Chain A
Amino acid sequence: MKPKSGTDHVFLFPSMIRGKRGLSLIFALIAVALLIAAPFGLKPYGIYLLSLWAVMTIAAIGLNLTLGYAGQISLAQASFVGIGAYTAALLTTQGWPLGAAFALAALLCFVIGWLLGYPALRVAHHYLAFVTLSFATLVFLILRNEEWLTKGVYGISGIPRPTLLAWSTKAPQDFYFFCLGVLALASIAAWWLLRSPWGRAFTALRENPIRASSLGIDTRRYTLMAFAIGSALGGVAGVLYAPLVQFIEPTAFTLGLSFNLLLMVIVGGAGRFFGPFLGAAVSVLLPEWLRFSEGLYLMLYAIFVMVLLAFFPSGLLGLAERLRTSWPRSSKSAS
């Protein structure tokens, strides 16, 4: 029997990889293989950039949860990265294991993120943006002014990289694989969360909170959870950031980083699981790839982002989705 739709091409593939889910699986496997192979041909700076990509992806996954899925704007994600980084720096320079920093930073950021979520119950959109912006300023001022704790503008240096059992992550390549492992765990946790009924509730919260509430969804609790979990992931990213750069100071966690993380989420595709992965690649890696243009590289980067968002506001994954859905139609009309 002749297949009757424009999706004939899927019959060429085994049943397990048919459709959108199968394609996503293939792309994910190729991406994992590339990420594992990538550092072997790179110099330390290239490996550093890949590690930074992994760290920023974790922070962007957190912001994607808060903004992309639950629809709550936040300009404070850099603050949570900063809280995580300072937690790691203060603990590990005192001899504590990095695992303790992960636990404390995640808990601390979860609680602070939960509290920061309360204004989101009263205000939305640009008002909420300004509430979170004020919080970001407050955190920056604490990091800069409370020298007894943070060493202020002098920063904290000599942050050690961890040793897991007998595996030392001092070398760039080892630390990259450590970052990749943490990214994998964070991704699995986020995937689990978003595939659960919580993920549907977050989507409902973003699309129509009044209707969501009328269906029994406790919008207040889910809003707070979205802030808390997203912030905790920011903290986890910060814990990795500190031993990556081995020296931290307050200006690394200003509004600029928050905007950058926001850009990663939007450029990749807000509310799409793999959006932060792509967005972080654009934000961290693309400017480096454009360095062949010497002094023009940041201008080219800015133009790329402007064009992308002007014509494809749903981000790179939105663009891919559009191409994927239009391809069978166009190939059918051509035949």
Chain B
Amino acid sequence: MAAVLEVRELRKSFGGIGAVNGVSFAVHAGEILGLIGPNGSGKSTLFNCILGQLAPSSGEVRIDGRPIGGMRPCDLNRLGIGRTFQLLQVFPQLSVRENLLLAGQEHEGGMWSRLFGPRDAGLTAAANRMIDFFRLAALAEERAGALSYGQQKLLDVAMAFMAGPRLVLLDEPAGGVNPTMLGGLRERLKAINETGRSTFVVIEHNMEFVMSLCTRILVLAEGRIIAEGAPEAIRNDRKVIEAYLGT
């Protein structure tokens, strides 16, 4: 089966410092791949190289076997690739519903039809479903900037799924979310993965969250993959423990 995402010998250097040093891996349809590693191990740089936010120094990224080097983030999104960022990235001046409409509108029709078509780009029903699914109904008309951090995080994740992507890269979705809300977030991500056959790559520092969500985990240290396997195997891997504890 062809990989949804394939990364081959990816490198990214800033000056003389290698942030990502020859990383290769593949992600298959329906998989939830965890990407963990200590701070500064190159996880977010790797994400940004995959998603066109940063140009890799060398190496190749393929989606469904097709090289995507040089493609802009907006074009990648239209190929069905969604993402969230490490820091909150909602639009504070727009309401929760408008944030979701915005997240889906560029997938509906052409630029001119969006100008002369309906204001909601025909997405109100889809936005309402997403609002209900992420339990944001009571906040639908609130400005996103007025929401609590955890609620904004939920909205941020919901936006990544609004256009029905096949592959979603989530950068620390659990960061700053309280334990009660975290359980809900995990269940929703699992539900989307199971029902929508979406494929996820998740960067996360919360080990309990990542171990209970992911089917496979890659461990990055100093820009290299040092371990790969099932969550239980990674939990007991000596190299991983050394990388985290620095012993």
Contact = CB atoms under 8 A, between A and B. Distances in A.
B74 interface: yes
A198 B159 CA distance: 18
A200 B106 contact: no
Nearest to A222: B111
A295 interface: no
Contact of B119 (A197, A201, A212, A218): A197
B105 A197 contact: yes
Contacts of B163: 215-216
Size range of the chain A interface in the assembly: 20 to 34
B89 A211 contact: yes
A18 interface: no
A208 B89 contact: yes
Contact of B159 (A200, A215, A220): A215
Given A203-B93, A208-B91, A213-B74, A221 B111 contact: yes
Interface in B27-70: 51, 53
B85 interface: yes
B77 interface: yes
Nearest to B98: A200
Interface residues of B, number: 31
A217 interface: yes
Contact of B115 (A198, A211, A213, A220): A198
A196 B121 CA distance: 8
A274 to B, nearest CB: 16
A193 B159 CA distance: 23
B89 A217 contact: no
Contacts, number: 81
B114 to A, nearest CB: 4
A219 interface: yes
B214 interface: no
B83 interface: yes
B114 A214 contact: no
A216 B91 contact: no
B78 interface: yes
A142 B92 CA distance: 43
Q: Which of A200, A204, A221 has the most CB of B within 10 A?
A: A200
A212 B93 CA distance: 14
Contacts of A218: 72, 74, 106, 111
Given A196-B119, A197-B121, A214 B73 contact: yes
B51 A214 contact: yes
Interface of A: 193, 195-198, 200-201, 203-204, 207-208, 210-221, 271
List of 4 A-B pairs having minimum Cβ-Cβ separation, nearest first: A216-B106, A216-B77, A211-B89, A197-B114
Given A197-B115, A271-B93, 5 more contacts: A203-B91, A213-B73, A215-B77, A216-B106, A218-B72
20 contacts: A193-B115, A195-B119, A196-B115, A197-B105, A197-B114, A197-B115, A200-B101, A203-B93, A204-B102, A207-B92, A213-B72, A213-B74, A213-B77, A214-B83, A214-B85, A215-B77, A215-B103, A215-B159, A217-B102, A220-B72
